[in-house]
Structure 1
Amino acid sequence: MTRVKSGSGKGFALTVAAIAVFVIVAVIAVSALRGSGANADGDARQIEIIPVPATPVRYEDQTRIRALFPGLITARRQSALGFPSGGQIAEILVDVGDRVERGQPLARLDTRALQAQLQAARADIRVAQAQSDLAEVTLNRQQSLVERGHVSGQSLDEAQASYDAARARIQSTQAVHETLGVQIELATLTAPFAGVITDRSFDEGASVGAGAPVLTLVESAALELRVGLPSADASRLRVGEAYEVELNSGERLSVTLRAITQVIETRERTVSAVFDVPASATVSSGSVARLLLDHALEDRGFWASAGALTEGRRGMWSVYALTPSGEHYVLEPRPVEILHSEGDRVYLRGAVDDGQRILTTGVHRVAPGQPVRPVSEG
């Protein structure tokens, strides 16, 4: 058997121990370096300053605000046209969508029966005229005989009465003739004003009663805008003055106030104002328009972008104020009250100082206390 020397075994053990210590030290050093690197990254993230759009607050003691009141553009005149007497429709000369002029024929009734009655009335007039002529001759003869004393005055009176009755029969038959002529004339439906046919209720051959709507005519040349306004706003309007309205297309046009009803409607609690739409306007009846009215708001506040608002506590609104913190700013929520909203901007008052910068947009991408720097003002 080979005997190992005790001195060489101790040296090997010391070498292994030294290597182990070196490995432990190396591991601790690497861990320390990694930890310091992580802390450095964390510190870098904590002090990261992001650029944000901001604008300074400018308070006003009062401001001009614009209110919008919706209304409906309609034709000034719209008529459901029918015949004054019933009958059978012989012709309908127009259809839905046709533009017609004032006095243009639109439809006709069958007038054959009326034409026959008219001919009979003409014959009655001739008969009455002949009877009147005979009564006149008789009256003249009786006057001559009375003057000569051949007949009594009673005969003259009877001749005069016959003559008067004959003249009355002429007037009666003429009245019947004129009535039939008017009925025949009214059997042709004509346009009372220029416009567009928007509805047709009957076709040829249909029997209609007196006054039954056959066609609907809407005036196209004269349009008006009716708007319901609170009485306070209506009292500021002046008849004859021009006001601005906005259409759904974004187009704006000028209208003239024609009348204010001065009566508060029971349901809407508004006063109706009627405006004349210019004939040159390219707008159709039935379009919606919004009346634009400017007036003063007697409240101290400041204007801000609607994108600057964020929901605060208990249903209130807040804006982010940029508060100085060393060489940068931090975001601090400040409660505000909306006094008026107008499109993409709002008029506010709240815990924001005059001249202090506030975040204008991107409120959903930041958090309270976040370090920031302003990059724009507007």
Structure 2
Amino acid sequence: MKPFVLLALCTAITATLSGCSQDPSAAPEAPRAVKLEKVGAHGDSLRQFTATVRQQDRVDAAFENGGRIAAVLVDVGDRFHKGQLLARLDAETLRLRVQQAEANVRSANAQVSEKRLQLQQQQALFEDGAASQLSLTNAAVGLESAQSQLQVAMSDRGLAQRAMRMAELRAPFDGSVTAKRYQAHDDVAAGAAVLQLEGSTGLQVVANLPDALARTLAPGELMQAESAGRPISLKVRSVSARVDSAATVEVLLDVAGDASGLRSGESLLLTPESASAAHIAVPLSAVLLAADGKNASVFVYDPKKGTLMRRQVALGDVEGDRVGVKIGLKAGEQIVTAGTAFLTNGQRVVPFRSASRLGAEVQS
């Protein structure tokens, strides 16, 4: 019986080893999870931009000269009229400077009178032969120097008087206070904003748009915007000639329709009339560039087959972290937006679902 037992054990061991040595690559590969985006389903794909409402007249009100603030006569939200006194500096030191400057002018005037008399005396002596040409010349130079000193003293007096006038901060237009930076008894430097003021003449809207889009805009062109779901018509006033570091251009717009309910600082969702909903823009991470840097492609997901198809596209302008697609995609298709360098044409995939989303599905 022992030979038969040994033979059975050897056969079982051989079968086990054979099963362990099978090539694991023969097992079907699990579909890879990929992050998808539906073309045309996002605000960026629809070319919508954020704009900000602001008043046409606005200023950071500051004193021309520094000093200690004696009083701030308005607070945030207060309305004011053009020319109204808003704040003032302690004027005691300024008054003393004006008095000093006026005294210097009087002294300089006296010097001019004295030097003029000396010149007249030297002129008479010179004509009588009792004074030399050098003495006459020195007297003339002395009068000229005294007159120059008088001009300096008068300029100093003018500056002191101006500083006295500018110690009062007055409203440059009708409007309201939006911010208060300093209180009474604070020391403030020259040019430091004490109050932020906004006018009441009218609202305007400012938006930073991609350079490629801004080039297509012209004064008078209409745009549509939304505020809390309410449509608002805007009209282009001007387009800046400068492109900033983010490749955007500042565009100013006027409210063409009813502006009631809009507040300064409010954000609007802006849709240019020239940018139809058919425009497509995709994330830069979704695009595969060929070695020549010209040809580009994306991976399109087929939900019926669960596979990917690599498709060539014609690119448009870059808009922030997205790029326009002129040809090759249509609204409603799904494209892969991450990890495209590791995918292949025809590969089986499944849509990526975040942990929070999976948890919600389990609970439901």
Shift of 1:139: 1.0
Match 2:265 to one of 274, 282, 286: 286
Could you tell me how far apart the structure 1 residues matched to 2:242 and 2:150 are? 55
User: What SS does the corresponding residue of 2:218 show, helix, strand or coil?
Assistant: coil
Runs of at least 5 residues in structure 1 that lack an aligned partner in the other structure: 1-64, 300-311, 317-336, 342-378
Asked if 2 retains the 8 angstrom alpha-carbon contact of 1:243 and 1:257, the reply is no
| Aligned residue number for residue 152 of structure 2 | 172
Higher Rg: 1
Aligned length: 244
Q: Structure 1 residues 133-142 or 207-216, which shifts more?
A: 207-216
Residues 9-33 of structure 1 show CA distances to partners (whole Å, capped at 9, x for unaligned) of xxxxxxxxxxxxxxxxxxxxxxxxx
Q: Is 1:99 the equivalent of 2:91? A: no
Task: Please report how far the alpha carbon of residue 110 of structure 1 lies from its aligned counterpart in structure 2 after TM superposition.
Answer: 0.7
Aligned alpha-carbon RMSD (Å): 3.3
CA distance in 1, matches of 2:168, 2:306: 68
Task: Please state whether the residue corresponding to 1:134 is helix, strand or coil.
Answer: helix
Residue identity matched to 1:182: R
Q: Provide the residue aligned with 1:115 in structure 2.
A: 95
- Structural mapping, 1:76-155, within 5 Å: 76-155=56-135
**1:277 & 1:144 partners in 2: Cα distance?**
79
Of residues 276, 291, 307 in structure 1, which corresponds to 2:254?
Answer: 276
Q: Deviations over 1:233-270 (max 9, x none)?
A: 4343212334333322514233233114563753xx65
Question: Which secondary structure does the structure 2 equivalent of 1:73 belong to?
Answer: strand
Name segments (4+ residues, structure 1) moved above 4 Å.
294-299, 312-316
Alignment of 1:300-339 (within 5 A): 313=304, 339=331
Q: Which secondary structure does the structure 2 equivalent of 1:90 belong to?
A: strand
Aligned residue for 2:140, secondary structure, equals helix
Is 1:190 aligned to residue 182 of structure 2?
A: no
Could you tell me which amino acid in structure 1 is paired with residue 109 of structure 2? Q
Does the 8 Å contact 1:222/1:279 carry over to 2? no
In the other structure, the counterpart of 1:51 is none
| 1:207/1:279 CA distance change after superposition, 3 Å | farther
- C-alpha displacement at 1:227, in angstroms? 2.7
SS in 2 for 1:225: strand
Contact kept, 8 Å, 1:125 with 1:174, in 2: the verdict is yes
Q: Is the 8 A contact 2:46 2:279 kept in 1?
A: no
Letter in 2 for 1:140: Q
**Structure 2 equivalent of residue 258 of structure 1:** 238
1:148 shift after superposition: 2.2
Q: Structure 1 pair 166/338, CA: closer, same or farther in 2 (3 Å)?
A: closer
Q: Counterpart of 1:109 in structure 2: which amino acid? A: L
- Aligned with residue 72 of structure 1, among 32, 52, 61: 52
The aligned residue for residue 243 of structure 1 is 223
Identity among equivalent pairs (%): 30
Q: 1:88 corresponds to which letter in structure 2? A: R
State the partner residue of 1:39. none
TM-score normalised according to structure 1 size: 0.56
> TM-score, with normalisation over the residues of structure 2?
0.58
In structure 2, C-alpha distance between the alignment counterparts of 1:279 and 1:127, rounded to whole Å: 66
Q: Please give the secondary structure, in 2, of the residue aligned with 1:339.
A: coil
In structure 2, C-alpha distance between the alignment counterparts of 1:187 and 1:119, rounded to whole Å: 16
Asked whether the equivalents of residues 245 and 255 of structure 1 are also in contact (C-alpha less than 8 Å), the reply is no
Cα separation, 2, equivalents of 1:274 and 1:148: 79
Which whole-Å CA distance do the structure 1 matches of 2:57 and 2:306 have between them? 49
For 2:173 and 2:81, the matched residues in 1 are separated by 6
Contact kept in structure 2, 1:102 and 1:193, CA below 8 Å: yes
Match of 2:136 in 1: 156
1:217 aligned counterpart, secondary structure: strand
Structure 1 pair 315/67, CA: closer, same or farther in 2 (3 Å)?
Answer: farther
State which drifts further: 201-210 or 171-180.
201-210
- 1:237 corresponds to which letter in structure 2? L
The answer to which of 104-113 and 234-243 deviates more is 234-243
